[in-house]
């Protein structure tokens, strides 16, 4: 990914209501977040320095460029391989554990059985247990604890075993 | 005033509500099905939540999903629009229980008016004229003869479990009454599984004229005049207008007073419409719609009142911003409902709209959530736009509507625009002297 392409991405962000953009391409992953929703992202003052010398940007535009090894990047790409995406079947608040003091139902790397509870989605004061649909290994947790999720929102990546 | 409202609907009405919220400085939250992710109502809301799959049962009529969406976005109120859950008393009640304000009437209002038999009884008690008829099912030949004599011919015998124009017989004289009665009963059993029939006065060539009412939580109820919705096909409205070409100021005043009295008698809240059948200068209660209606724009154009804003304000506890004497009907407004249907066969035509040019200029309003490049999904109502015009009188409104229909270009799918163009040219429609049977006759049905 070159500087021109990154600049173009920032422009897209500026001119639309999109507040966050994450893009993965050929082993490079970039995430751009607007400083405040509705505000304009600040243009980097010295972009040339930033990308060549500093992999992590301290600037307010919060541009993160991560050069990742190709095999690792591919493993996280759900559309390749046989990753099963667990999507939220309902609207509610996502919780990783049964209660604030309890341990998470699952962590990355855990092997789960079909039917095993992997998280809770709370809707209208009712706790809905979400179960794994396949036997497999949790390779990624996509939703954040105590955050709202919508219907169809991806929660976990499971690699079937 | 509310800070955030969830709109439990889609399409043009969701957009309409978002617009009112914007102008009132209220944040809007859209809910959408998976297939509606690219909709305008999603794009223009401040936040949006996907609540389910394309099938409305899993999304737009999914009460837990919608209430959950309101909860996670901290919405204080829900506007249900029309259709879907707008007249679901259980939903209105569950909103109340969840501490979320339902922008509309009370659950009791909805329940009462949803039960057609109870609604009619309630109206009779309130002194509202109803179509004369039997109280419930007629069981004997003697009974029906007496009733028909009392009501006066022609009468219509209807199956209680019927509807939509089925299971009915018109009787013009006593000679054919018993025969029709017996035939109706046996048809009722075979078609609807229930032999109950009732009798009503038959209103020949009626017009459908409805009165818009608006009530606040302080006991104020005001009517905003009438809409004539007689242009219908299979009980579906195609064209509406205000004022009605059939009303004199005297009848208008009387109907308005009756509508307000009816609303007050049931402690009605928020926006509602009372539908009447008009025959000559006699009008009879037909039913009450406990929601904002599709055709509300024609009332907005001739009264200058923003009905959706008034709904939101009233629901937030504010008194109505106007009294009855402040409401005047000025000029004339006509609305054409544009559907994604074959203009001759009426078969639905969902698909991708390749070009979309909406009319403009003075006195033209288009309420739509369609746009060039939008794919009309097959899962929902086929209405894609409402074309509303306003003129200083009916003639100007007619010429403005004809002109606007010429400018309304929709390519990629079939629409009923050509049908509206034909109706606008028809001398009977132009004369204003039509009744509810007119359109089907015009279409040769």
The pairing of strands A126-131 and A111-112 is: unpaired
Q: Which residues contact B253 (CB under 8 A, 6 or more apart)?
A: none
Q: Which residue of A has its CA nearest to B45?
A: A17
Per the listing, tokens 């038959």 go with: B202
Nearest Cα to Cα of residue B133 among B288, B285, B255, B266: B285
With an 8 Å Cβ cutoff, is B40 touching chain A?
no
Q: Are residues B255 and B147 both part of a single domain?
A: no
ipTM of the complex: 0.81
Q: Which of B34, B50, B68 sits opposite A92 (nearest CB)?
A: B68
Look up the CATH number of the domain holding residue B170. Answer: 3.30.1490.20
- What is the rounded distance in angstroms from the CA atom of residue A131 to the CA atom of residue B22? 40
Contact yes or no for B14/B80 (Cβ under 8 A): no
Q: Which residues contact B18 (CB under 8 A, 6 or more apart)?
A: B7, B28, B30, B41, B44, B45
Residue B91, CA distances (Å) to A131, B60, B96, B100 in order: 29, 12, 9, 11
CB proximity under 8 Å: A 25-44 to B: none
Domain ranges of chain A: 3-75, 84-160
Q: Are residues B156 and B213 both part of a single domain?
A: no
CB contact (8 A) between residue A93 and residue B73: no
User: Is B167 part of a structural domain of the chain?
Assistant: yes
Q: Are residues B371 and B424 both part of a single domain?
A: yes
CB contact (8 A) between residue B59 and residue A93: no
Residue B163, pLDDT score: 63
Nearest Cα to Cα of residue B419 among B227, B208, B236: B236
Beta-bridged to residue B52, according to DSSP, are B33
The three-state DSSP-derived secondary structure of B281-339 is CEEEEEEEECCCCCCHHHHHHHHCCCHHHHHHHHHCCCCCCCCHHHCCCCCEEEEEEEE
Give contacts of B53 with chain A, Cβ < 8 Å: 151
Contact yes or no for B8/B85 (Cβ under 8 A): yes
Beta-bridged to residue B6, according to DSSP, are B29, B78
Residue B135, pLDDT score: 79
Interface size, chain A vs chain B, as Cβ–Cβ contacts under 8 Å: 42
Q: Nearest CA to CA, how far is B50 from chain A (Å)?
A: 5
Query: Tens digit of pLDDT for each residue in B359-394?
Result: 999 999 999 999 999 999 999 999 999 999 999 999
Q: Are residues B150 and B265 both part of a single domain?
A: no
pLDDT band for position A129 (cuts 50, 70, 90) = very high
Nearest Cα to Cα of residue B311 among B9, B3, B17: B17
**Model's pTM, two decimal places?**
0.82
Give contacts of A93 with chain B, Cβ < 8 Å: 72
- Which of B4, B28, B72 would you mutate first to test chain A, the one with the most A CBs within 10 A? B72
Residue B345, pLDDT score: 94
The pairing of strands A28-33 and B409-411 is: unpaired
The rounded mean pLDDT for chain A is: 75
The CATH number of the domain covering residues in A84-160: 2.40.50.100
Q: Which residue range forms the structural domain that includes residue B329?
A: 207-442
Give contacts of A155 with chain B, Cβ < 8 Å: none
- Which of A89, A124, A149, A153 would you mutate first to test chain B, the one with the most B CBs within 10 A? A124
Q: Are residues B300 and B212 both part of a single domain?
A: yes
Residue B118, pLDDT score: 84
Q: HSE on the CB side for A24, CA within 13 Å? A: 12
What is residue B145's three-state secondary structure? helix
Residue B137, pLDDT score: 84
Q: Is the dihedral of CA B282, B286, B292, B297 positive or negative?
A: negative
- What is the rounded distance in angstroms from the CA atom of residue B324 to the CA atom of residue A144? 54
The answer, yes or no, to whether residue A18 has pLDDT greater than 90, is no
Residue B186, CA distances (Å) to B154, B197, B202, B239 in order: 21, 10, 21, 37
Nearest Cα to Cα of residue B424 among B403, B410, B443: B403
The three-state DSSP-derived secondary structure of B42-64 is HHCCCEEEEEECCCHHHCCCCHH
Q: Are residues B29 and B161 both part of a single domain?
A: no
Query: Tens digit of pLDDT for each residue in A50-82?
Result: 333 333 333 333 334 333 333 444 444 556 578
CB proximity under 8 Å: B 48-67 to A: 49-53, 59, 64-65, 67
φ, ψ dihedrals at A96, nearest 5°: -85, -15
Q: Which residues contact B249 (CB under 8 A, 6 or more apart)?
A: none
Residue A65, pLDDT score: 39
Q: Are residues B359 and B400 both part of a single domain?
A: yes
Tokens standing for residue B80: 């249900």
Tokens standing for residue B238: 């195609």
Q: Which residue has the higher pLDDT, A112 or A28?
A: A112
Q: Of B153, B168, B201, which marks where a domain is finished?
A: B201
Q: Are residues B240 and B341 both part of a single domain?
A: yes
- What is the rounded distance in angstroms from the CA atom of residue A88 to the CA atom of residue B304? 45
Q: Nearest CA to CA, how far is A56 from chain B (Å)?
A: 30
Contact yes or no for B225/B303 (Cβ under 8 A): yes
How many domains is chain B built from?
A: 3
With an 8 Å Cβ cutoff, is B98 touching chain A?
yes
Residue B241, pLDDT score: 98
With an 8 Å Cβ cutoff, is A144 touching chain B?
no
Q: Are residues B179 and B218 both part of a single domain?
A: no
Q: Which secondary-structure segment (H or E) carries B24?
A: helix B11-24
**Segments in chain B below pLDDT 50:** none
Residue A44, pLDDT score: 38
Q: Could you tell me what percent of chain A has a pLDDT over 90?
A: 47
Beta strands in B99-189 (DSSP E): 101-102, 155-163, 166-171
Any idea what DSSP says for residue B174? G
Residue A73, pLDDT score: 40
Residue A152, pLDDT score: 97
Q: How many CB atoms lie within 10 A of CB B62?
A: 25
Give contacts of B49 with chain A, Cβ < 8 Å: 91, 148, 150-151
Residue B285, pLDDT score: 93
Look up the CATH number of the domain holding residue B91. Answer: 3.40.50.20
Q: Are residues B89 and B164 both part of a single domain?
A: no
CB proximity under 8 Å: A 75-94 to B: 90-93
Q: Of B184, B201, B218, which marks where a domain is finished?
A: B201
Q: Are residues B196 and B289 both part of a single domain?
A: no
User: Is B191 part of a structural domain of the chain?
Assistant: yes
Beta-bridged to residue B272, according to DSSP, are B213
Q: Which residues contact A23 (CB under 8 A, 6 or more apart)?
A: A9, A29, A30, A31
């Amino acid at each position: 990914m070159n500087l021109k392409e990154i600049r173009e991405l920032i422009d897209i962000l500026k001119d639309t209501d999109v507040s966050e953009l994450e893009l993965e391409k050929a082993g490079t992953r970039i995430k751009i977040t607007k400083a405040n929703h509705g505000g304009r992202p600040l243009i980097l003052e010295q972009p040339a320095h930033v990308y060549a010398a500093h992999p992590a940007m301290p600037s307010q535009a919060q541009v993160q460029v991560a050069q990742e090894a190709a095999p690792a990047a591919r493993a996280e790409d759900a559309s390749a391989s046989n990753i099963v995406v667990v999507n939220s079947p309902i609207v509610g608040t996502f919780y990783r554990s049964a209660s604030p003091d309890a341990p998470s139902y699952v962590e990355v790397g855990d092997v789960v059985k079909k039917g095993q509870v992997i998280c809770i989605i709370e809707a209208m004061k009712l706790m809905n247990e979400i179960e794994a649909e396949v036997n497999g290994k949790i390779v990624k947790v996509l939703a954040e604890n105590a955050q709202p999720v919508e219907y169809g929102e991806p929660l976990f990546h499971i690699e079937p075993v | 005033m509310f800070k955030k409202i969830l709109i439990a609907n889609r399409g043009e009405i969701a957009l309409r509500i978002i617009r009112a919220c914007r102008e009132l400085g209220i944040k809007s939250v859209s809910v959408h099905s998976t297939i509606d992710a690219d909709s305008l109502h999603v794009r223009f809301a401040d936040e949006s939540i996907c609540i389910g799959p394309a099938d409305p049962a899993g999304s737009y009529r999914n009460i837990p999903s919608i209430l959950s969406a309101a909860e996670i976005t901290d919405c204080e109120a829900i506007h249900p629009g029309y259709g879907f859950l707008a007249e679901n008393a259980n939903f209105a009640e569950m909103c109340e229980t969840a501490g979320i304000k339902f922008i509309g009437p009370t659950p009791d209002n909805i329940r009462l008016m949803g039960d057609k038999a109870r609604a009619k009884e309630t109206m009779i008690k309130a002194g509202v004229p109803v179509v004369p008829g039997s109280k419930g099912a007629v069981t004997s030949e003697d009974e029906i003869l007496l009733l028909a004599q009392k009501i006066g011919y022609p009468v219509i015998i209807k199956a209680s479990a019927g509807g939509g124009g089925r299971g009915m017989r018109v009787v013009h004289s006593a000679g054919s009454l018993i025969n029709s009665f017996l035939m109706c009963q046996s048809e009722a059993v075979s078609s609807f599984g229930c032999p109950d029939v009732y009798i009503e006065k038959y209103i020949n060539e009626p017009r459908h004229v409805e009165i818009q009412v608006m009530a606040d939580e302080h006991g104020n109820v005001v009517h905003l005049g009438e809409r004539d919705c007689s242009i219908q096909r299979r009980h579906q409205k195609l064209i509406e207008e205000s004022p009605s070409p059939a009303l004199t100021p005297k009848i208008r005043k009387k109907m308005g007073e009756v509508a307000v009295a009816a609303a007050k008698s049931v402690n009605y809240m928020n926006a509602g419409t009372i539908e009447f059948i008009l025959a000559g200068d006699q009008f009879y209660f037909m039913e009450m719609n406990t929601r904002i209606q599709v055709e509300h724009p024609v009332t907005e154009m001739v009264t200058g009142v923003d009905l959706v804003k008034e709904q939101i304000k009233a629901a937030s506890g504010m008194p109505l911003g106007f009294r009855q004497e402040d409401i005047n009907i000025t000029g004339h407004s006509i609305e054409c409902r544009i559907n994604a249907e074959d203009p001759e066969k009426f078969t639905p035509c969902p698909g991708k709209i390749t070009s979309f040019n909406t009319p403009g200029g003075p006195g033209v309003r288009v309420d739509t959530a369609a746009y060039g490049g939008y794919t009309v999904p097959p899962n929902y109502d086929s209405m894609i736009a409402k074309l509303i015009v306003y003129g200083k009188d009916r003639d100007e409104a007619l010429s403005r509507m004809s002109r606007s229909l010429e400018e309304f270009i929709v390519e990629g799918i079939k629409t009923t625009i050509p049908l509206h163009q034909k109706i606008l040219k028809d001398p009977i429609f132009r004369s204003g002297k039509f009744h509810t049977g007119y359109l089907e006759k015009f279409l040769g049905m």
